[in-house]
Structure 1
Amino acid sequence: MTDTTDRTDLTDSPDSPDTGEQGQRRRRLTAWKRSGRILSRASAESTLGERLTALAADAGSAYDLDEWADVYGDGVVAELERRVARTLGLEAAAFFPTGTMAQQVALRCWAGRTGNATVALHPLSHPEVHEGGALAAVSGLRTVLPTHAPRLPTADEIRAFDEPFGTLMLELPLRDAGFVLPSWEELTAVVEAARERDAVVHFDGARLWECAPHLGRTLPEIAELADSVYVSFYKSLDAMSGAALAGPAALIAEARTWRHRYGGQVFQQYPAALSALLGLERELPRLPEYVAHAKVVAAALADGFRAAGVPWFRVHPEPPHTHQFQVWLPYPAEVLTEAAVRQAEETGVTLFRRWFADTPPGLAVTEVTVASPGLEWTREDVRAAVADFTERLRP
């Protein structure tokens, strides 16, 4: 994809001078909030009062609220780190305020240990597309690209790559290629190929939580393949913010030092930590169910587009590898976004959210997430929503 925007309404600044766009954002958020039928809801789409009330009401199930608030990473933050390490089957974990910082630190630590500051990754990976060149500008790392195919590199591509690298970073799933995953056999083979080249392997597992069904392995079995793993708390677990870096105890101890140097030693982080603990307790066990139903929704979307006579469409991948996937249509992005928000406003049904222009010209893409509210949708519900949506595209 050529569009470098992180594809979410939640990145638009409330202080943006573009009041027209800010007004449209508020319109979309209002329409989604009022929808009686929607495929997923994000906590960040709630008001401040709603979010604070829900956290105060629910957090006691995940942590003793009579404990003292955290100070510089103790208390509830340390408990979250222990639970993440245990969930992934790794020695230790460290909480970071952002995934960008967590991965900067991980890759910098590995560069020092391997003596090679070159990182092999995919051109659609998050550091290449969504971080403003931070790996080079902030951490002095250099990136190389073993493949340009819209999938993770293969073992043969890693073996044939013509220059050395210290770390191979694999984004699981590769979000901007359509939340795609390799098979378990392909993943183990590419890890083995990297090790043959004396490189370490780091998993960008921002959405690792939902990879187990497709790979057919447990989270500890997946995490064990890598030398280090980063996971996000808000992308799949619906927490407020934050991430964790997990791996060997010695690496995590070094990462804590670099976390402080990067400005990540925050005085108190209990809201983020509590919401992450809630996500581990409530959302993580349900992700396999979401992944399974995403396949139902994706198939019904394709059926609906065919029935509506849409001249061209693509649901990608089909079937989805996780509970998120892409939909492509041959219309201007602004036309599709307007049809989607009007459908939500007029019928109380949110099928799609924002659409984005992409290449070649004339195509637009959106991302679909199936979570708890989406489990209520039958195939017939999806097809009916598609029929209503496509009718809004007719002249």
Structure 2
Amino acid sequence: MNAQALDSLIGHDLPLAAGGDSAAYSRIVGACQNSVTAIALAMVRDVQASEDIAQEAFLSAWQNIRKLHNPSSFLPWLRQITRNLARDHLRARVRQPRAVEDAELAIELAADPAPGAIETLLEAERARVAAELISALPDESREVLLLYYREGQSSQQVAALLGLSDAAVRKRLSRARGAVREELMERFAAFARASAPSVGFTTLVASSLGLIAPPSIAAAALAGGAAGSSVAGKFGLGASSASGGVAGGGAAALLDRLLAPFAAAGGGEALEHGARWSVQLGGVIGGTIGGALGALAMTQILLRYARGAQERRRIYRMMIAMSVSAALVCLGLLAALALSRGWLAPAAFLLLSMALMNWQMLRWLPREIGPLLDRAQRESGRDPRAGFGYRWLLGKPAIVWSNVALLASIALVLYKDGRFG
């Protein structure tokens, strides 16, 4: 894949991957795996360790991909992640008493007549030779040479993958050829090609994406809970609705994770999109069910103060109108989260929605049920509005806690989603 095709692929697939499309991210992994493993191998000089580091780098980038808003920054960002992980690996290896352990292992394996011991010795020898070949090269040329032979000896492709100019790549290639004898360079070229990651590497990374795929269960549960709270949280139904949203969103996210490896392995993008949308749908369904149960309970409480069919119909109409308007707010919030990548659109929609629902609670609801509560106060001598249940379900304390809970939930969802930059 040439540099232009690589830029095109990343420009097209990165926004999809940021939206949770693991198939799109797998295509990016396939295009970049040579460069990432080459960077790691040049530093740690161990083929197996370099692939482990590369896999960790790709998974780390996948977890944090929504924090990256510019596709052109992806490759430099991924390279830095890889180098940081390789440095961590080297620091950990320095702290281990490897020389004594390796000597003891060699003696133990040599004394073991089993075929597996012989193969392990051969593998250890191959690793030693690989480390010697890499060490023989100038430090600044190792990444370039590894990638040069893995990418069909195209200096332009190497330059694009490593963020260098073509002239800089050619200069490093020339310097390495001048510093290393021809026979060793030929051996290194054969090693570089043979040690390149196969299609199996991409498959291995792709199969791991579903285990940590965004949105995570925690974020999906929070999103479901926040959506559920917005359905009915402003008139005493926040607890039941939020718990339903958490359950629905979390269960759907778990289903998403279970289905993701099958979707990635089979290229089933339709299945993957369906599972991802099920997370949002789960939050809506869970929140709606919880809100409906809470609305039913609140309706029964208000009906205690109604006299005659006309007042009961007024209460039914009021609760239905508030439930419908809040359900529309819930769907609008989910749409704002799904259709935008930053935090401004969801935050603006949320603030407008809260203004509407607070107006319902502070103005409309008291005007509708005020006469009923005044009559109950005259008859019993006690103001229902002063009671604990009313204050914490329909009064100002309910408005305060539901506003705080909703704002905190959405802020945490946006933060987990990497929308604050």
Give TM class, smaller chain.
under 0.3
Q: Which entry has the higher C-alpha Rg, 1 or 2? A: 2
Which structure is higher in RCO with an 8 Å CA cutoff and minimum separation 6? Answer: 1
